[in-house]
Amino acid sequence: MNAIERLKNITPKEFALLGMNDVAYVKRTVVNDEAVITIHSADGTQIGVAPDRETAFAAIRQHELEPVSLH
CB-based contact 41:47 (threshold 8 Å): yes
Looking at the 3D structure of the chain, how many domains does it have?
Answer: 1
- Residue 51: the pLDDT is 96
Provide the residue range defining the domain that includes 35. 3-69
20: pLDDT strictly greater than 80: no
Its pTM stands at 0.72
- Residue 46: the pLDDT is 94
13: pLDDT strictly greater than 70: yes
Q: What does each C-alpha distance from 17 to 11, 53, 54 come to in angstroms?
A: 10, 24, 26
